[in-house]
Chains A and B, each alone.
Chain A
């Protein structure tokens, strides 16, 4: 296929496509200068933070740390009766608020004001 052959194959009406032209707005250059000036005054770190790569890396780090946290909590709690998640630990009924403070055998509740025998 050569160009001459292509031109012969091209219908005449397709020439109409080239009849439609668009000119840029007269104020284009002024706007471009304004954009360049605005970019020049913006701090570099802000532009760096706005880069898609930075945003994506931050998101990936967040997901990875959440996954690692969940895995660690799961492996610690599994099989030994300890709460599996932070929420479970908070909702635990031992009154320790998930801190897991060991209580002495036979000790009374801290708010009972009872005297141990």
Chain B
């Protein structure tokens, strides 16, 4: 997909706009499903947004430093194919650069960048239906590019890495919309508002998808609850 229309769609433009309250970003209007108003971005983020609006290529280094890990983790989790995920991260940064002047800052830079990444992943997954590729590629646990951060306070007798691999496989088997919500919530540790902004769905939908995903995961990993 090329051209300004594609960028506009991927950037999530076209949301209803409302006059911003003092000290907040716009986007908490009556037609928005998000009632909570976001405080202004930190000065560093404001400078970054200004640089992106100027189409300053150097700003991409800062975007990559701030959100590159989240972008790569999301892309790898959604696509489960390392090379394709890396390609999506690069393409997303190009889109961020191209769409920078139109960024309105309604949901924050992180949400915007992740939304572009998630939309690109969805496009790839949609294309896979026609190329017969599947989601059965190597799990992220098997990838050499993986970074495993052990969870603090865990029972030492349990093999965290093996459990994480099993959990990852169970998450991969969830329906796509639930899987995306789980990735954003439990892998990237985003707030519900950020997940809603990234996926373009209302808060209630985020919660219901997460609740349904949790039921499915509990059923699959029921011995862990025992």
> Interface readout for B162-192 with A: 1 if CB under 8 Å, 0 if not?
0110011001000000000011001111001
> Are B64 and A25 in touch, CB under 8 angstroms?
no
User: What B residues does A31 contact at CB under 8 A?
Assistant: 90
Chain A positions within 8 Å of B97 at CB level: 32, 36
Tell me whether B164 and A17 are in contact (CB under 8 A). yes
Contact call B72/A20, Cβ cutoff below 8 A? no
B interface footprint on A47-66 (CB within 8 Å = 1, 0 otherwise): 11011110000000000000
Q: What A residues does B60 contact at CB under 8 A?
A: 29, 32-33
Chain A residue contacts of B3, Cβ below 8 A: 47-48, 50-51
Evaluate contact between B72 and A22: CB separation under 8 angstroms.
yes
Chain B residues with Cβ under 8 A from A19's Cβ?
148-151, 160, 164
Q: A39 to B76, alpha carbons, bound, how many Å?
A: 25
Docked pose: A31 CA to B87 CA in angstroms: 9
Nearest Cβ in chain A — how far from B33, in angstroms? 15
Measured CB to CB, the nearest residue on chain B to A50 is B2
The B interface is mostly helix, strand or loop, or mixed, namely helix
Considering only CB atoms and an 8 Å cut-off, how many residues of chain B contact the other chain? Answer: 57
Chain B nearest CB from A23 CB (Å) reads: 6
168-224 of chain B: CB within 8 A of chain A: 168, 171, 182-183, 186-189, 192, 207, 210-211, 214, 217-218, 221, 224
Q: Does residue B143 face the partner (Cβ distance < 8 Å to A)?
A: yes
Residues of B close to A1: CB separation below 8 A: 207, 211
Please list 17 pairs of residues, one from A and one from B, whose beta carbons are closer than 8 Å in the complex, sorted by A's number: A14-B186, A14-B217, A18-B149, A19-B160, A20-B73, A20-B146, A20-B147, A23-B147, A24-B71, A24-B89, A25-B145, A28-B68, A29-B60, A32-B94, A47-B3, A48-B3, A53-B5
- Extra A-B contacts (6), CB below 8 Å, given A19-B160, A23-B72, A24-B72: A19-B148, A19-B164, A22-B143, A25-B86, A47-B3, A52-B1
10 cross-chain pairs, A with B, having the tightest CB-CB distances, nearest first = A17-B186, A24-B68, A22-B72, A24-B72, A21-B147, A16-B164, A22-B76, A22-B73, A32-B93, A51-B3
